[in-house]
């Protein structure tokens, strides 16, 4: 959005923060280049949000905080760097808007936010629940993020909603495991039947007045709209549908958010995946601005 790049957080309300890491991917790599591609695509974004009637840069003081340090090939080392890098942001009460990076990075974000807020409610739009016990023998992977977050009490699964799940599975336990942890899991067919307003009602009933972390995996979108991602699943959602689901959530207590799994090397002409991600981040900023 051509925001000023600074690490001075005085008077800042929200910070766009890149985490260029993709070591924990299971199929296509390349999400380490996601923040760069999203920033480039965001150059077209303008400040006024017509859906909410809010000028985002008037409502919020927003900066681009740059990228946090990562250690390619070392997931837990990256977590340490991300946690340290986020410390001044969360301690200053600045809203972190993170550009991923694969979905493993969300665990480090949650660790720092939960230190201040206590356990968060999770609102996840994704084609996968990311609640496996291990992947390729690894406990910290992009497919294990929310099981680890539940175990570490960073999120309250009974106050959380995972929506958009679809595609082939290893077995029925892939979804049932998330439900057993306490998550409300809404597969894509059910989400379409609910529509934005009833989806938002379901979310509000679950989260109540708790602080919310919203995690948007770009593979929530159909690969026709977002081909540049690591684990694409067909029969997904359009960008218009995604915007409607997000705008319906106006009023939730958004404490942090990220958009993850943008892999530009698989994007198409015109970089539609990066463009979609930039606009989703803009919608998340609008949800935060609507709280002011």
For residues 59 and 139, the model is more confident at 59
- For the structural domain made of 14-289, what CATH number should be given? 3.40.800.10
Per cent of the chain over pLDDT 70 is 100
pLDDT of residue 138: 84
pLDDT > 80? residue 292: no
pLDDT in tens, 204-238: 999 999 999 999 999 999 999 999 999 999 999 99
pTM: 0.98
pLDDT of residue 61: 98
pLDDT of residue 171: 87
pLDDT in tens, 226-274: 999 999 999 999 999 999 999 999 999 999 999 999 999 999 999 999 9
Confidence class for position 173, pLDDT limits 50, 70, 90: confident
For residues 174 and 50, the model is more confident at 50
Strand arrangement of the beta sheet that strand 212-217 belongs to: 62-67, 14-19, 95-100, 254-260, 212-217, 121-125, 161-165, 184-187
Averaged pLDDT score across all residues of the chain: 96
């Amino acid at each position: 959005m051509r925001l000023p790049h600074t690490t001075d957080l005085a008077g800042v309300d929200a910070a766009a923060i890149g985490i260029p890491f993709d070591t924990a991917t299971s199929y296509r790599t390349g999400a380490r280049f996601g923040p760069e591609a999203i920033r480039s695509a965001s150059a077209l974004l303008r400040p006024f949000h017509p859906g909410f009637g809010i000028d985002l840069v008037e409502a919020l003081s927003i900066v681009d905080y740059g990228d946090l340090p990562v250690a390619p090939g070392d997931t837990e080392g990256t977590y340490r760097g991300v946690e340290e890098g986020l410390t001044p942001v969360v301690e200053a009460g600045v809203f972190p808007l993170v550009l991923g990076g694969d979905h493993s990075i969300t665990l480090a974000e949650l660790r720092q936010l939960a230190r201040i807020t206590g356990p968060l409610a999770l609102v996840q739009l994704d084609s996968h629940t990311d609640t496996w016990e291990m992947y390729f023998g690894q406990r910290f992977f992009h497919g294990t993020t929310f099981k680890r977050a539940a175990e570490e009490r960073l999120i309250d699964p009974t106050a959380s909603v995972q929506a958009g799940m679809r595609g082939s599975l290893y077995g029925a336990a892939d979804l049932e495991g998330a439900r057993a942890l306490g998550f409300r899991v809404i597969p894509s067919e059910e989400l379409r039947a609910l529509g934005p307003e009833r989806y938002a009602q379901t979310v509000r009933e679950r989260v109540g007045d708790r602080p919310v972390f919203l995690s948007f995996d770009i593979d929530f979108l159909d690969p026709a709209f977002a081909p540049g991602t690591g684990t694409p699943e067909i029969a997904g959602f359009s960008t218009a549908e995604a915007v409607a689901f997000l705008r319906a959530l106006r009023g939730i207590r958004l404490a942090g958010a990220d958009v993850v799994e943008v892999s530009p090397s698989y994007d198409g002409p015109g970089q539609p995946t990066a463009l979609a991600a930039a606009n989703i981040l803009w919608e998340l900023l609008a949800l935060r601005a609507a709280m002011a």
